[in-house]
Each structure stands twice: as structure tokens, then as C-alpha cells.
Amino acid sequence: MSGTPGYYLSISNLKFSPLDLEAPPGATVTVLNFDSPMMHSVTSEATAGSFTHSTTGISFDTGPISGASASFTLPMTAPAGTVINYFCTVHLGTMNTPNGTITINPNAPPSQPPQTFPPGYGY
């Protein structure tokens, strides 16, 4: 099974994967919720472990993902080397991996989406 190359974060068994996604400025990041119908979000975090939404610098929030996927776009002006922490607003510190990061890397290659999709995902 294959999909479109891109930048993907997945959530499965209350874990984010990868824990550090590298993506270039302007990339669209697709979040795949393999725990659906359990809701999750991917939300920029003020500081690692604070579990508060960052609204300064690079900010994003998928909102609760009630379906299988959601996406957001990183700003074209995001400086190389910037590390953005993220968390789930629904589960906060109770996730098996409570925090992840996105590192801005202009040379980050896209990847294929994970090969295993949840039932009913549509692929």
C-alpha cells in the first residue's frame, strides 16, 4: 500500500511517531490518528512539558482529531534549525510519549505515509 510522499506524524497507542519530525519551511504536515475514534491533537507547545499552547513564533493546532487525519502548514518563513515542541491537548501528560518536536530542515526529504492504516481510513 502506498500513498503520496509528504511529511507525516502518526499517533498510535497514545504515542507520537516520529518523536522528531524534520520538515522544510512551508511543508504541510499530515497527522494520522490510528487511535481513532479516540481523539488527539497535535498542538504547538510553549515549552517542552508545559502542556500549554504556544501562540508565539511558529504556532499550530489541529484541534481534536475526531477522524483519521488532519493537517497543518509550517510557515515559509520558519528559520532553519528551529525546534517546535508539540503535545496533545486532549491527553496532556498521559500520552505514552507526551511531547514531540518538529525541526525545521530545508533539506528534509518527504517520506511515504505509514503502511498500516486504521480500518476505514480510505486508502
118 belongs to a structural domain: no
pTM over 0.95, yes/no:
no
123 belongs to a structural domain: no
b/e map 34-63, b = 16+ CB within 10 Å: bbbeebbbbbbbbeeeebebbeeebebbbe
What contacts 113, CB < 8 A, 6 or more positions away? 3, 4, 6, 8, 30, 32, 123
Domain CATH code at residue 40? 2.60.40.420
For the chain, how many structural domains are there in total?
Answer: 1
Domain boundaries, position 65: 7-104
11 belongs to a structural domain: yes
54 belongs to a structural domain: yes
2 belongs to a structural domain: no
53 belongs to a structural domain: yes
Q: Whose CA is closest to 21, among 117, 118, 111, 95?
A: 111
pLDDT one-digit tens code per residue, 42-100: 999 888 888 788 877 889 999 999 778 899 999 999 999 999 999 999 888 888 888 89
114 belongs to a structural domain: no
